[in-house]
Amino acid sequence: MSHATKNGISSPYVELDRAAWAALRASTPLSLTEADLSDLRGTNDPTSLEEVRDIYLPLSRLLNLYVGATQQRHAAVRAFLGEADRPSPFIIGVAGSVAVGKSTTARLLRSLLAQWPNHPDVELVSTDNFLHPNAVLQSRGLMRRKGFPESYDRRALVRFVSEMKAGAERLEIPVYSHLHYDVVPGERQTVHRPDILIVEGINVLQPATAGRLAVADFFDYSIYVDAKVANIRDWYLDRFRELRRTAFSDPRSYFHHMATTIDEDEALEFAANTWQTINEVNLVENIRPTRGRATLVLFKGDDHRVSRVRLRKT
Q: Which segments are annotated as binding site?
A: 96-103
CA angle 148, 150, 156 (to 5 degrees): 115
Q: Residue 204 and residue 224: Cα distance in Å, rounded?
A: 10
The bridge status of strand 122-126 relative to strand 170-177 is: unpaired
Rg over CA atoms, the chain: 20
The bridge status of strand 90-96 relative to strand 196-200 is: parallel
Q: Are 298 and 306 in contact (CB under 8 A)?
A: yes
Residues β-bridged to residue 16: 309
Binding-site annotation, residues for ATP: 96-103
Q: Are 279 and 98 in contact (CB under 8 A)?
A: yes
Q: Are 222 and 93 in contact (CB under 8 A)?
A: yes
Q: How far is CA 14 from CA 100, 195, 308, in A?
A: 23, 28, 11
Q: Residue 48 and residue 54: Cα distance in Å, rounded?
A: 10
Q: Residue 291 and residue 275: Cα distance in Å, rounded?
A: 20
